[in-house]
Structure formats: C-alpha cells, structure tokens
Chain A
Amino acid sequence: MKSVRFVAAVLFLVFALSASPVFAKDTIKIGAILGVTGPASFLGAPEAKTLEMLVEEINKKGGIKGKKIELIVKDSGASPEKAISFAKQLIEEDKVFAIIGPSTSGETMKIKNIAEEGKTILMSCAAAEAIVNPVAKYVFKTPQKDSYAVVKIFEQMKSMKLTKAGVLSSNSGFGNAGKGQIEKLAAEHGIQIVANEVYDKAATDLTAEVTKVKASGAEAIINWSIEPAQSIVIKNARQIGFKGPIFQSHGFGNIEYVKAAGDAAEGVIFPAGRLLVIDSLPKSNPQKAVLAKYKKDYEAKFKEDVSTFGGHAYDSLMILVKAIEKVGTDKEKVRTEIEHMKGFVGTGGIFNFSPEDHNGLAMDSFEMLTVKSGKFIVLQSSAKKKDAGTKKK
C-alpha cells in the first residue's frame, strides 16, 4: 500500500540519518560556515582553503596540546537559511568548540543569537559593525572596521585637496555597509557626496552608472565593493574619461581584481591589510614574518595569489588556537582569554581585544596602497609624491 511504503521510506530515511557519527576521542572540533560556492565564493573559497591548510599544518605538529583539530566546513552558499541550519547543527549535534565564519554579514547577523544561546564562540569573517556592536559575549570578528577604511580614504582625499566624492557601491552586504559608513562620516570630515549609486554585483557593464557619477561633478570616485564587478567600474570610469583618483575599499584586496581591470587599475588607491605589500615592509614590522609565511604556504599549496579575505579566516583560527594553547579546552576560559588577548599579530593587523571591543583592530591595521604596473605597493605620502612629481591619472 502506498501509504505504508511512504511511512516505511520516511522512517528508514530518518533512522539512517540519525546514526551518530563515530566519535573520535580527544579532538577539538571546530566548525566553519563559509560561502565556498555561490555569490560570496571569492570570500568563502580562500577562507576554506586557508583553514584546511592551517589545520593540516597544526595537526602534523601534533595538534594543540596533543589534541588534533577536527575541522568541519559547511558550505552555506551565502544563504542565511542554510547558515542558520548549519549553525544549529554544528552547535547541537557536532558540539563544536567554536565556529569560524560566516563569510557574509547577512548570515552572521542571523546566527549571532544562535551562537549566544548555544554558548559557542563565533569568530566571524564578516565585516559589519553590527556584529560586534552591541557586543555579544561569544561573538567576535576579525575583519577591520569599515569606518576606519572610510576615514582613511577621506583623509587621503583631504590631503589631495579633494572634497567632492562620487560614491558607487555594490548591492551586497559589504557594499551596503560601506555606503552606510560613507554617508555617516562624510560631513564631519568635510567631504561632500555628490553622487551615490548602487550597482548590481553581477553587472556586465557599468558605463551608464559611471557616466552619471562623472556628470555630477565628482572630483574622486569611491568604489565600495568586494565582488569582481568593481573592476568593471574602474575600467568604465577610465574609458569615459574620468580623470580624478579612484578610491577602492579593502574589498579590492585580491590581485585578480587588478588583473581584471588591466591598465585601468593603475593609480587606484585603497586601504588594506599589509598582506598585499609584504615586500615593502621593513624587517622591523611585527607582521612581516607572519604574513610572509602565510603567503608562501598558501601560494605554494594552492597555486593562486593570496588575498586579504583568506587572511580573516587565518586570524580567526589562530586567535582560537593561541587562546586554547594558553588556557586549555574550557569554552568559558577560552572566551575570556580571547576577550583579554592583546598584541596578537595577525594578517589583518595587530589585535587588542577587550570586553567592549570584540574586533580588536585599530585604524593602523590599514595601510594605504596603490597599484603600480599591475602590482600592489604602499602609497607614498602625498608630500613625497609631490616631490617625486608622479602624475595622477
């Protein structure tokens, strides 16, 4: 009878799936919810690769205090509903020690409460200020604050005597957040927003959008996005003859975007973590060693350029590891330890946590970079630039 078959099929399926996984004793389970495929794949894929690489390396050396790390990566495809389902799964079923990720702010906000209620440490790789403001006990984030990036851009503009900004942001969470910060901070920094357009992150051509911005009399363009489409903005802006400087966000932190923009990327200015300009760091810079090793290992293993996005996952994991090494595997102790961690050298900067600051990075975690001959270099201060007589395109 059909209904009997139905019942039998259902029961069988549920029992089959109910089988608990074999418990490997004495491992530290760390879960990760990342957007490995889907609209956030340029975030999630490097993040997942970084985690796998690090966990393998740590386990080869015997793990943390003798316990190996068991990494469970779940691909949420940047869907909040999957993130919610995986979060509950990781916390309740797999009983993970901590969760790294998600890659996007939208997902993080959806599982912030779940992590709090489940008393599980969440090390987010997403950038929204709302993740750590208001502070939730168990939720931390490793990317730098958007507002710092915005302020650095404004300060650079002022030093170049520019006040009129044309803003283009992508319609992703990162783009929206940046746009919000720009709008909030413009007035107090003496910057006037003369154009403010949102473009589709999957757009194929943005000539009309940049035309509108150019027509508004903008002296500089601020292009806030984390997706490949930002390169199209740069190309189109130069093609229609926009001569002012183009500022990007720290979402430009991947050399692939420079390649995609070709010659047009020359002279673009943006704030970013120092991972991209390791060679120009003086030996005395505390981050140099950490960054150099990460870059070398990642590029050797995956044959692709390192990006600041993968770096957020690096920081998330290594902060956890350091805390566990210090106080052992008691969740509460580790949480408190992270909250009081100072001077942690990560890829994003030097972290100084506190109970009020669950992000730990300050404005100096950003360096102003520019693109020259298709490579990232540190932007020389404007005084020096004037002396060198370099022309801005």
Chain B
Amino acid sequence: MPLRKHFQIAALVAAVIAVQLAVTLSGNSHHLTQLTMSAYYSLVIVGLCLLIGYAGQISLGHAGFFAIGGYISGFLTTYNLLPYKDKAIVSIFAKTGLLVGRQDLYGGQALTFHPWTAGLIAVLATFVTALVIGGPVLKLKGHYLAMATLGFGIIVYRIVLGTEKLGAADGISDIPGFTLLPGLQVSGAAGLRIQNYYIAWGLVILSVTLLVNLVHSRIGRALRSIHGAEDAAQAMGIDTAGYKLKIFVLSAVLASIGGVFLTHYNGGIGPSEASIMKSVRYVAIVAIGGMANLWGALIMGFVLNFLSLRGYFGTYDDAVFGVILIVIMLFAPEGLITRSVFSNIRRLFGKAAPEAEV
C-alpha cells in the first residue's frame, strides 16, 4: 500500500521535527543528547528487526558489528601516523588525501586518517566480515544459529578487550568529530546539538524508508516466505540462502554505520559496546516491539534506549529489560504495538473483524 507507507514515513519525519521543537522550546535541549544517541542505536535495531522478524534469523551477536564499525573508525582517526610518515605506504595515503594533519587534544601534532576514509573503511570491513561469516552461519538453524552468532559477538568482544592498540579495557578516547560536509559535523560539542540530532534522525529516516520499501517489495515477500516455510520457499525457486545472506549483511552494515557515527558523536568507545548484554538488549527490543514490526522496533528502541541512557531505571536497568522481555514474550509475543493487539481491543468494543496481515 504505497500511500500508507508514505504516510507513515511522513509521520515519522513530522514526529522527529516536532520532538526537536518541543524539546528546544521548552528549554530542555539537553534531552537532545540522549535522543541523538538513541537514534544511532535504533539503526542497529531496525536492521536487526528485518533480520529476525522478517527473515527469521536470530542474531545474538549484532553488537559485534556495531563495535567493528565504531572501533575501526575510532582507531583510524586517533592512531598517530606521524612517527611513520617516512614509510612508503603512509606517504601514499597522505598524497591521496586520505590522511589529515591536525592538532591533537594536547597540542601535539598528529597525522591520522580522515574521518570519511576511516568511516568508509570501517563499514567496508563490516560488510566483508558479514559476507564471510554469513555464509556458513546462516546454514545453521535454531539454537545452533543462536550459538554461532553469540560466538561471533564474543570473539569481537574478546578481541577489542584484549588488544592493547585498541585501548584494551579502557577503549579509545579523544576521537575527533566527523565533518560530514562543510558545516555539518558529527560531534558531541554542545553548540552542534540540534545539527547532530537531525543528522542522526535523518540517517534513521533514510534507513527506515529503505527498509520499508524493501519489506513491501518482492524481496520482502520472499523474506516472509523464507521465515514462514523455508523449504517451501526454496522449492518455489527462491534463492533462500542468497536472500538470508543479503539481509544479514544489510543489517550488519546498518549496525556498523550506527557504530561509526555514535563513536564520533560520543568521542569515544569502549568494549562494553560489544558485550553480550548489548546484543541481548538489541534482540530484546526487537522482540518487545514485535518481531516483524519495523515501527514497533523503532519506537521501543527509541523509548527504552532513551530511558536507559537517562538513568531512569537506575541500578535495575538490566532487570527492567529482563522483566519487560519476559512479560512481552509470555503474553504478547507479537509485540505491543501491533495490529493484533489493536484489533483485539477493537473486538472488545464489538467492532469489525480483525484486519488481514499486510
């Protein structure tokens, strides 16, 4: 239903703008910080929703892709190549404009990769990783698939935790801002708050538009058939392995983009971004929003991350997630904001029969 789809996206854009105006005008523009951070996490979540909900493949290791994006970009934009500037490869990089000389925080001179280069390399690396491990991993099913993705996430976590060059337990700090275009910079500086809010949510809107279009296309229908009955879909000539891989890679790339941008926004990244709890949290949010419900995942992702980042749940952050997760999975496995919940409510008031699934 093209018209409905456009309406939904327009509504999202309107909501994003409305929230920003409301927040700024009421003098609470500091909320924009958490709103921006939630946006980047939402990138991971919507991609994951596509993978779990529509393609039916569980991934307990998606924080790993987020971390690959963030760490590579962070590392390349902070690792000082100045001591090596006489080496051949470094001068090639410098000549082709990939490097940028800048003043580091303590007044010294530093030669690091340009954020654009670093970001592209990071996303590319994630793309390749997802492509390479996706093949064998997606052949697995059920618990084995869960375990394999969990294992991938753990490997990424152990690598970033154990490698000194990546800051080991302390992570990478003092990551510079990312100048997208002249005048548009991804960074946590207080003056650029509104700009960054729109950059973040702009990315989310773009991604959601892409995914919504995907879902309503042939590919989306193919995915749903794979989710429903993989063997039958295969028999019908659908390249199930190919589709699963494509969606896996797409969701990984989205996650890493979120990682790159959030790292530059925060100015730092730590191993906690690759931890199992993070991956579980992403899956939990997708489940709470309704497995195959992009909008539900987006709303829940935004709400729960926002509240968590503001410390609303205090020390019991994880407990709250656990409880919400169980309650939803037991009583409303399709999620809270779904057609069936609404139609059940409608039925309660004696209205029309439940709508058909689109």
Contact = CB atoms under 8 A, between A and B. Distances in A.
B33 A85 contact: yes
A89 interface: yes
A316 to B, nearest CB: 20
B219 interface: no
A89 B310 contact: yes
Interface stretch (A13-21, A62-70, A211-219, A330-338): A13-21
Contacts of B317: 75, 77
Interface stretch (A2-10, A239-247, A293-301): A2-10
A2 B295 contact: yes
Contacts of B349: none
Interface in A60-90: 74-75, 77-82, 84-86, 88-89
Given A3-B7, A106-B270, A114 B188 contact: yes
Nearest to B312: A17
Nearest to A80: B270
Contacts of A15: 22, 26
12 contacts: A3-B10, A5-B337, A10-B302, A11-B18, A15-B22, A18-B28, A36-B315, A82-B309, A134-B106, A171-B169, A173-B168, A176-B169
A287 interface: no
B19 A14 contact: yes
B206 interface: no
Given A14-B23, A82-B311, A3 B8 contact: yes
A6 B169 contact: no
B298 to A, nearest CB: 9
Given A110-B173, A113-B105, A176 B37 contact: no
Interface stretch (B144-152, B224-232, B261-269, B324-332): B261-269
A359 B10 CA distance: 54
Contacts of B306: 13, 17
Contact of A117 (B190, B308, B315, B318): B190
Interface of B: 7-8, 10-12, 14-15, 18-19, 22-23, 26-28, 30-31, 33-34, 37, 105-106, 161-162, 164, 167-171, 173-174, 188-190, 262, 266-270, 272-273, 295, 299, 302-303, 306-311, 314-315, 317-318, 337
Contacts, number: 149
A6 B295 contact: yes
Contacts of A109: 170, 173-174, 268
Contacts of B310: 17, 85, 89
B120 to A, nearest CB: 23
B15 A11 contact: yes
Nearest to A37: B315
A176 B163 CA distance: 10
Contact of A92 (B15, B190, B307): B190
Contacts of A113: 105, 174, 267
A9 B299 contact: yes
Contacts of B28: 18, 20, 93
Contacts of A114: 188
Contacts of A20: 27-28
A104 B270 CA distance: 12
Given A6-B11, A10-B299, A85-B37, A128 B170 contact: yes
Q: Tell me if B's interface is mostly helix, strand, loop or mixed.
A: helix
A252 B173 CA distance: 27
Contacts of A128: 170
Given A2-B295, A109-B170, A81 B273 contact: yes
B311 A2 contact: no
B204 to A, nearest CB: 13
Interface in A163-178: 171-173, 175-176
A37, A75, A106, A175, most chain B CB atoms within 10 A: A106
Q: Interface range on chain A: under 10, 10 to 19, 20 to 34, or 35 or more? A: 35 or more
A198 B311 contact: no
Nearest to A8: B15
A310 B239 CA distance: 60
Interface string A113-137: 1100110000000001000001000
B219 to A, nearest CB: 23
Nearest to B262: A81
For the complex of A and B, list the 4 residue pairs with the smallest distance between their C-beta atoms, beginning with the closest.
Answer: A3-B11, A106-B170, A80-B270, A92-B30
A173 B169 contact: yes
Nearest to A9: B299
A113 B173 CA distance: 10
A81 B170 contact: no
Given A17-B306, A106-B171, A109-B170, 15 more contacts: A2-B337, A6-B295, A10-B19, A14-B22, A15-B22, A37-B318, A74-B311, A75-B314, A77-B272, A79-B270, A82-B309, A85-B33, A171-B162, A172-B169, A173-B168
B292 to A, nearest CB: 14
A341 to B, nearest CB: 25
Contact of A110 (B18, B26, B268, B311): B268
Contacts of B11: 3-4, 6-7
Contact of B12 (A3, A84, A104): A3
A105 interface: yes
Contact of A2 (B8, B31, B189, B309): B8
Interface in A2-48: 2-7, 9-11, 13-15, 17-18, 20, 36-37
B101 to A, nearest CB: 20
Nearest to B19: A14
Contact of B19 (A11, A80, A106): A11
Contact of B161 (A78, A107, A171): A171
Contact of A176 (B15, B30, B105, B170): B170
A112 to B, nearest CB: 8
Given A3-B12, A75-B317, A84-B266, A18 B22 contact: yes
A198 B11 CA distance: 52
A173 to B, nearest CB: 4
A141 B308 CA distance: 27
A36 to B, nearest CB: 6
B159 to A, nearest CB: 12
A89 B37 contact: no
Nearest to B10: A3
A79 B188 CA distance: 17
